[in-house]
Amino acid sequence: MGKLSALACCAAMALGAPAAKVFPYAYTQEDLQNGLRLVVVPTGFPNIVATYIVVQVGSRNEVETGHTGFAHLFEHLMFKGTEKYPQAKYTDTLQRMGAASNAYTTEDYTCYYTVVSKEDLPTVMEMEADRFQNLKVAEPQFKTEALAVLGEYNKNASNPTSRLDEVLSETAFERNTYRHLTMGFLKDIQAMPNLYDYSLKFFDRYYRPEYTTIVVVGDVKARAVRALADRFWGGWKRGSYEAEIPQEPPQTAPRTAQVEWPAPALPAVAIAYKGPAYADTSKDTAALAALALLAFSPASDLYQRLVVSEQRAAALQASAPDHLDPSLFEIVVRARHEGDLEYVREQVYETVKAFQEKPVDAARLDAVRKNLRYGLALRMQSSDAIAGILTRYVALRRTPETLNRFYDQLAALTPEDVRAAAEKYLTDNNRTTVTLVGAKPQATTAVGR
């Protein structure tokens, strides 16, 4: 298709024209002989190029007992340099280019991204290929960075929300590796400094071309980018390792847990239901995404009642499952007072029951569909933003086309599809509820002179 702008795509829909693909840019998708995938998206935004490198390794891949947190650790270690580009030279080169560069780790993947002027793309491709193929981290560096990760964990642990998430995952999952957060289990992070040899094995398993997709978006031509990929990445050797991800057994009864936070904090309740793995060829993923907005977004009846009218909740939000393995449909409510926790929890349960029993109004579903589609289109306002959006979907299916297929499923949803998804997944036996309560503020006594 032609190179429509995102806003033009929205305008066509508003005028009643046939809906274009939600991703409006033409792209090329090619595989090198070693299994590396290259996705190139020329845009109309001049001069700037965003390079996002997606490695299909996240906390999900940490399948060996006692060895969690290594995907996140390598997000740090990958900036330690090589013989050709030591850390200082790598950093100085990026600074001279005025590049924006960073990385992040999720349950399903790790992403490294750099945004530069188009004339600097060859240098970026060379430096990235070098560190992916020739990373050199001495054991003292490894130990120092492992301790830095422990510091990061301790910093996060000072936030009650992080602890709530941690307990929810540990309670909801028994076998699947989503049981631990991206940072890993604390005891494993504490043991990391002594696992240098294992780290070399972990890197060798997953930092391989068959696990890697390079997404290049911006003022580029596909043929020139392919030539760079062949030049710098073509000699990278394919691996042979495939992880066996533990499958979660069916949950047969509701689960509960409570977090006693040692300092004053807003009370909260997290309610999660086991959901499906991401799919773009059936309606369940799209139906649950719509349900999260219909039932728990600021436009929902429950939000308007709990947060706006009654003011018994300070916040309400929900997220739908969108992972490689079956994951959680999660609702989090922050109550204003501990005495309101039971009330807001029961209101969530009742809202779920209502969506199971009666199809949502068709006009409300249509409004949610439009909100999701227009919101996505309006976010595509730079090459960097477009690459960032694509990355999440590329990590799931290694192709931008899954974004179009998912939104096609969303467009085909009926009110009965949403009701059926609620009935299928948001059941009592699929539910885990975790509450968090803070310590009572200590009373102070005024003392006169």
Residue-wise pLDDT tens digits, 408-417:
999 999 999 9
Structural domains of the chain sorted by starting position, each given as residue range(s) with its CATH number in brackets: 21-233 (3.30.830.10), 255-359+414-438 (3.30.830.10)
Please provide the DSSP assignment of 43-73 as one string: -SS-SEEEEEEEES-SGGG--STT--SHHHH
pLDDT attached to residue 443: 60
DSSP 8-state assignment for residue 391: H
DSSP 86: B
d(CA 78, CA 130): 11
Question: Looking at the DSSP assignment, which residues form a beta bridge with residue 434?
Answer: 257, 270
Q: Where are the beta strands (DSSP E) in 32-152?
A: 37-42, 48-55, 100-105, 110-117
Distances (CA, A) of 213 to 31, 102, 110, 226: 9, 17, 11, 13
Burial of 343 (0-12, 13-18, 19+ CB in 10 A): middle
Ordered per-residue pLDDT tens for the chain, 449 residues:
333 344 334 333 333 334 579 999 999 999 999 999 999 999 999 999 999 999 999 999 999 999 999 999 999 999 999 999 999 999 999 999 999 999 999 999 999 999 999 999 999 999 999 999 999 999 999 999 999 999 999 999 999 999 999 999 999 999 999 999 999 999 999 999 999 999 999 999 999 999 999 999 999 999 999 999 999 999 999 999 999 999 999 999 999 999 999 999 999 999 999 999 999 999 999 999 999 999 999 999 999 999 999 999 999 999 999 999 999 999 999 999 999 999 999 999 999 999 999 999 999 999 999 999 999 999 999 999 999 999 999 999 999 999 999 999 999 999 999 999 999 999 999 999 999 999 987 765 554 44
Helix (H), strand (E) at residue 313: strand 313-319
The model carries a pTM of: 0.92
| Residues β-bridged to residue 116 | 49
Q: Give CA separation, 156 vs 138, 153, 165, 218, in Å.
A: 27, 5, 11, 35
